Amino acid sequence: MIAHFNNKKKVHFSKMHGLGNDFMVVNCINQNFLLSSSIIKTLSHRHTGIGFDQLLLVENANNHLIDFHYRIFNANGNEVEQCGNGARCFGLFLLIKGLTYKKKISVSTKKRNLFIEFLSNNMIKVNMDEPDFRLCSFTSCKKSLYDDCLTTLTIQHVICNVVSMGNPHCVIQVQNIKNAPVNKLGVKIEKDSLFPKGVNVGFMEIINKKHIKLRVYERDVGETYACGSGACAAVSIGIIKKLLHHTVQVDLLGGQLIIKWKGVGHALYMIGSATHVYDGYIYM
């Protein structure tokens, strides 16, 4: 057994979560991590692996104006553009591992840059940039639409709206979140031909202008305890439709987020906790 391990490299990682949305975080700045879709699938398995919704990789920045680069892979091995809960965990990882001592850092992702600010008690504020309501940004629709023309679509016989937070979201307003067909309808909409690369599907119940409940079916994953970018998407659509205030509490299965957005022309902010669960290592 010792000889077997001697043929492999030890890779250190951290297990973290943001409101129950869990992650394996790997520092790729000072260690090599052999990456493939099959390896990610093996590691993400809940019974035989580490178990996680997403794998997060910490990498060196691509230019001097950015502090770090941030890569996200779903449990099935597909690389995705954005993860709000992951951004908070990414930030906390940098802090507890001594990779940064700044109060505010800039992070590049596959599609956009984020700004992460460290508050007290493991609360983290993320500048998620401005919501993008153009259908052509991630659907097969060629018509370009923006904020004041938020489109109402009928998909799988359900009325919904779409927005990009750097990753694609479809949001459905429901009367009672408990009875929402999250898994049954979520998988159908995720695979709809309108979304060639899939879509995250949010089910939003509006309690009042400052409070919503939300469940999210994440593409390639299924329903998760929380989805930070999904919370941002739902609130931004609610604000555009004049159903919500500029500051909204979002109740997810795993806890609460605060989303702040002043509207078109402004960046959207997400505030929530991040939790470090444990450190470990694997032989690869």
Write the pLDDT tens digit of every residue in 168-223.
999 999 999 999 999 999 999 999 998 988 999 999 999 999 999 999 999 989 99
Q: Is residue 21 annotated as involved in ligand binding? A: yes
Residues 56 and 16 grouped into a single domain: yes
Residues 161 and 84 grouped into a single domain: no
Give the catalytic positions in this structure.
Answer: 83, 227
* CATH number of the domain within which 103 lies: 3.10.310.10
The torsion angle over the Cα atoms of residues 123, 201, 216 and 108, rounded to 10 degrees, is -30
Average of pLDDT values for 67-87?
94
Q: Is residue 76 annotated as involved in ligand binding? A: no
Task: Supply the pLDDT for residue 147.
Answer: 42
Task: Supply the pLDDT for residue 54.
Answer: 96
Task: Supply the pLDDT for residue 5.
Answer: 53
Q: What is the mean pLDDT of the chain?
A: 92
Prediction pTM value = 0.92
pLDDT tens figures, 122-148: 899 999 999 998 877 777 765 544 445
Residues 139 and 109 grouped into a single domain: no
Q: Is residue 219 annotated as involved in ligand binding? A: yes
Residues 163 and 259 grouped into a single domain: yes
How far is it, in rounded angstroms, from Cα 57 to Cα 28?
Answer: 6
Residues 107 and 23 grouped into a single domain: yes
Which domain, by its residues, includes 36? 2-128+273-283
Q: Is the pLDDT of residue 280 over 60?
A: yes
Question: 256-263 long-range CB contacts below 8 Å, 24 or more apart?
Answer: 256/19, 257/19, 257/226, 257/228, 257/231, 259/231, 259/232, 259/235, 261/131, 261/232, 261/235, 261/236, 263/239
How far is it, in rounded angstroms, from Cα 253 to Cα 216?
Answer: 9
How far is it, in rounded angstroms, from Cα 241 to Cα 199?
Answer: 21
Residues 144 and 46 grouped into a single domain: no
The total domain count for the chain is 2
Q: Is the pLDDT of residue 1 over 50?
A: no
How far is it, in rounded angstroms, from Cα 52 to Cα 44?
Answer: 5
Residues 111 and 148 grouped into a single domain: no
How far is it, in rounded angstroms, from Cα 132 to Cα 284?
Answer: 39
Residues 278 and 260 grouped into a single domain: no
Closest by CA to 234, choosing from 253, 216, 255, is 216
Residues 104 and 7 grouped into a single domain: yes
Structure-block tokens of residue 8: 């492999």
Task: Supply the pLDDT for residue 265.
Answer: 92
Q: Is residue 74 annotated as involved in ligand binding? A: yes
Residues 70 and 179 grouped into a single domain: no
Task: Supply the pLDDT for residue 138.
Answer: 75
Q: Is residue 280 annotated as involved in ligand binding? A: no
Closest by CA to 70, choosing from 175, 167, 205, 187, is 167
